[in-house]
Amino acid sequence: MKKVMLVFGTRPEAIKMCPLVNELKKRSSIQTIVCVTGQHRQMLEQVLATFNVVPDYDLYIMKEKQTLFDITTNILNRIKEILEKEKPDVVLVHGDTSTTFAASLACFYLHIPIGHVEAGLRTYNIFSPYPEEFNRQAVSILSKYNFAPTQMAADNLIREGKDPNSIFITGNTVIDAMQHTVKEDYTHPELDWVGNGKLIFITAHRRENLGESMHHMFRAIRRVLDEHPECKAVYPIHMNPVVRKAAAEELGDCSKIHIIEPIGVFDCHNFEARCYLCLTDSGGIQEECPSYGRPVLVMRNTTERPEGVQAGTLRLVGTDEEMIYKNFKKLLENQEDYNKMAQACNPYGDGHACERIADILEKGTYSPWVSE
């Protein structure tokens, strides 16, 4: 029996790892162990409950306004004992968070093989996104199995000299998670509030955007909303108090925007599928919106998800107020431009990524995902 431990700690990791937990649990020759770091608390628990995943271990590390030092050192100190006790044959980590990096470092110190889910995403700017670009490059140095979501991600790893036999193109597990979320008959009071208006869906949380950039984003959004009576914005806000303070200062008294608590992933996908357009600095939302044909203005200076930009659904608009304002306004006022961006496509997978990863771990063989 092969012992596979999955370690994750934040909302997006949980959304992309829980479907894999449930797939691995179906495999009779694999013993699946789940360890959450608790880098997130409420936002993590929301996802675990959605996918009915009950962790075997919880490191409970989250603190208000935690620093990168807090997260990294607390995980390293708390996970050692668990890894030594369980002695997994392989540890699966996901993506690019501090949980991903610290758990991988702990495995390296204990000579435990690592499988990296969502491997190979790159901006090649070590400070953008920060610290995620470092985290994912660092994990690639250590990982034995690299589960690349797309051909482009696999190509990055090959260019960096990774053994091609360690790279598997699986599609992104978020597309697996999305298979059952969007419903025709979905309703929500916030959608009733928007009514026949245009729903603008907003999220923002990136560490490098905290401060001036986030104020720029919010001011730009507010200016456009004030000029466009047909638009109403819904913004499920991240729990980071720094984000909340900036949003309260810039948007608190704006009647065109509803700032609501984080919504569950089923709600989030249904909002995305119904929005007119989305403004975000999120990574995962850049993967989800293209399949609903919902244009995304990415409020960042770099993206590690070029597939969506190439497909035309994502547009990188930076974090400067004027740039966001102009791009947002143009997309609302130029129907031709909007129609070009609103092309449904799915460059990130076919919904079978978890089966492929489980096959590789269980049987050593798989059938790669090939995008159209």
- Count of beta carbons in the 10 Å neighbourhood of residue 160: 12
Q: Is 11 a catalytic residue?
A: no
Contact stretch for ligand UD1 (CB under 6 A) within 33-41, 79-87, 228-236, 313-321 = 33-41
Residues 211-250 that bind ligand UD1 (CB under 6 A): 239-241
The DSSP H or E segment spanning 58 is: strand 57-58
User: Measuring CA to CA, how many Å separate 285 from each of 12, 47, 95, 162, 233?
Assistant: 10, 15, 14, 28, 16
CA gap 19, 50 in Å, rounded: 10
Instruction: Give Cβ neighbours of residue 88 (< 8 Å, ≥ 6 apart).
Output: 3, 4, 5, 33, 112
Q: By C-beta, is 235 or 369 nearer to ligand UDP?
A: 235
Q: Is 43 in the site for ligand UD1 (CB under 6 A)?
A: yes
Instruction: Give Cβ neighbours of residue 208 (< 8 Å, ≥ 6 apart).
Output: 127, 128, 129, 130
- Partner whose binding site includes residue 184, from ligand UD1, ligand UDP, none (CB under 5 to 8 Å by kind): none
Residues 159-188 that bind ligand UDP (CB under 6 A): 174
Residue from 263, 309, 311, 360 binding ligand UDP (CB under 6 A): 263
The DSSP H or E segment spanning 178 is: helix 173-178
319 CA to centre of own chain? 19
Q: By C-beta, is 60 or 193 nearer to ligand UD1?
A: 60
Q: Is 269 a catalytic residue?
A: no
CA gap 309, 278 in Å, rounded: 14
Residues 52-111 that bind ligand UD1 (CB under 6 A): 63-66, 68, 96-98
Residue from 123, 135, 203, 319 binding ligand UDP (CB under 6 A): 203
Q: Is 111 a catalytic residue?
A: no
Q: Is 192 a catalytic residue?
A: no
CA gap 100, 147 in Å, rounded: 14
Q: Which of 118, 133, 208, 359 is catalytic?
A: 118
Angle at 291 between CA 243 and CA 194, to 5 degrees: 55
* Structure-block tokens of residue 85: 């006790």
Residues 274-313 that bind ligand UD1 (CB under 6 A): 283
Q: Is 290 in the site for ligand UDP (CB under 6 A)?
A: no
Residues 111-170 that bind ligand UD1 (CB under 6 A): 131-132
Q: Is 205 in the site for ligand UDP (CB under 6 A)?
A: yes
Q: Do residues 98 and 132 lie in contact, with contact meaning Cβ atoms separated by under 8 Å?
A: no
- Partner whose binding site includes residue 66, from ligand UDP, ligand UD1, none (CB under 5 to 8 Å by kind): ligand UD1
Residue 195 half-sphere exposure toward CB, CA atoms < 13 A: 5
Shortest spacing between CB 12 and ligand UD1, in angstroms: 5
306 CA to centre of own chain? 15
- Partner whose binding site includes residue 268, from ligand UD1, ligand UDP, none (CB under 5 to 8 Å by kind): ligand UDP
Q: By C-beta, is 140 or 359 nearer to ligand UDP?
A: 140
The DSSP H or E segment spanning 154 is: helix 151-159
Q: Which of 11, 206, 238, 294 is catalytic?
A: 238
Summarize as ranges the residues that interact with ligand UD1 (CB under 6 A).
10-12, 39-44, 63-66, 68, 96-98, 131-132, 205, 207, 239-241, 283
Which residues are annotated as catalytic? 96, 118, 132, 205, 207, 238
Summarize as ranges the residues that interact with ligand UDP (CB under 6 A).
11-12, 15, 174, 203, 205, 236, 262-265, 268-269, 282-285, 288
